[in-house]
Structure 1
Amino acid sequence: MTTLTCSELGLLQQRLGERRRELLAALHGEYGDVAGTRPPEVLGPESHPDETASRKARDELRAALARHDFDELQQIDAALARMVAGRYGACVDCGDPIGYERLVAAPYSGRCVSCQTAFEQHRVAR
């Protein structure tokens, strides 16, 4: 069972909503070409090979950043769904409460520190 007060839960829900709006704006704005919502910038045939390589590296970096933001957005949506279901603040693996300090630092956290550590160690081992 969670140990969050109503005011703590409200604050965390507000922070999740604000961050969700920021991510959606970034995904539709600065990463719009990566997401396919606007056409990518095209280099002309007179472009220097170094410029082409730089553009490719920049595009790969932007795609990686967009994937990171999209992953965070999915985590936020999952956290908001847990709130609606009344399971927010409880570890999805063991059911123990997730510390408020951890939720303030990363409001979309779904695991307690112990379970998150085990999850990451297992992922690295694969």
Structure 2
Amino acid sequence: MITLSCSELGLLQHRLCERRHELLAALHGEYGDLAGARPPEVLGPESHPDETASRKARDELRTALARHDFDELQQIDVALARIDAGRYGACVGCGDPIGYERLVAAPYTARCVSCQTAYEQHRVTRQ
């Protein structure tokens, strides 16, 4: 049974939509060159090796940050779909309610603390 009030659900949905908008703006703006939206900065043959290494490290970091933002965006889209389906706030593992405080901290959360812990432990043992 889901225990969120209409106002709590509305607030969480609003936060999800705001964060979704922020992430889309970042992915299209800040990381747009990673997706081919704008050409990357090109270093010439006269570039110093330190500059090339620094550029490579910066590009790897930006790629990792963009991947993280994209993953968060996907989680938000799944959470919004759960809202539309009337299943938001229920753990996808056990079906028990996810605490409101947990949802406020991470509105895209899909599992209760117990199920999330078990999920993470299972992932670690599989690697």
Q: TM-score range by the shorter chain?
A: over 0.9
**Residue aligned with 1:88, SS:** coil
Partner of 2:47: 47
Q: How does 1:1-126 map to 2 (within 5 A)?
A: 1-126=1-126
Query: CA offset at residue 45 of structure 1?
Result: 1.1
Query: CA offset at residue 39 of structure 1?
Result: 1.1
Unmatched runs of 5 consecutive residues or more in structure 2: none
- Give 2:96's aligned amino acid: D
User: In structure 2, what is the Cα distance between the partners aligned to 1:8 and 1:70?
Assistant: 26
TM-score, structure 2 normalization: 0.98
- Give 1:88's aligned amino acid: Y
**Residue aligned with 1:74, SS:** helix
- Give 2:75's aligned amino acid: Q
**Residue aligned with 1:98, SS:** coil
User: In structure 2, what is the Cα distance between the partners aligned to 1:114 and 1:35?
Assistant: 37
- Once the two structures are aligned, what percentage of the paired residues are identical? 87
Unmatched runs of 5 consecutive residues or more in structure 1: none
User: In structure 2, what is the Cα distance between the partners aligned to 1:88 and 1:102?
Assistant: 13
Query: CA offset at residue 59 of structure 1?
Result: 0.1
Q: CA RMSD in A?
A: 0.5
TM-score, structure 1 normalization: 0.99
Query: CA offset at residue 89 of structure 1?
Result: 0.2
Query: CA offset at residue 71 of structure 1?
Result: 0.1
User: In structure 2, what is the Cα distance between the partners aligned to 1:125 and 1:33?
Assistant: 36
User: In structure 1, what is the Cα distance between the partners aligned to 2:123 and 2:36?
Assistant: 30
Query: CA offset at residue 72 of structure 1?
Result: 0.1
Task: Give every structure 1 segment of 4 or more consecutive aligned residues whose post-TM-superposition deviation is greater than 6 Å.
Answer: none
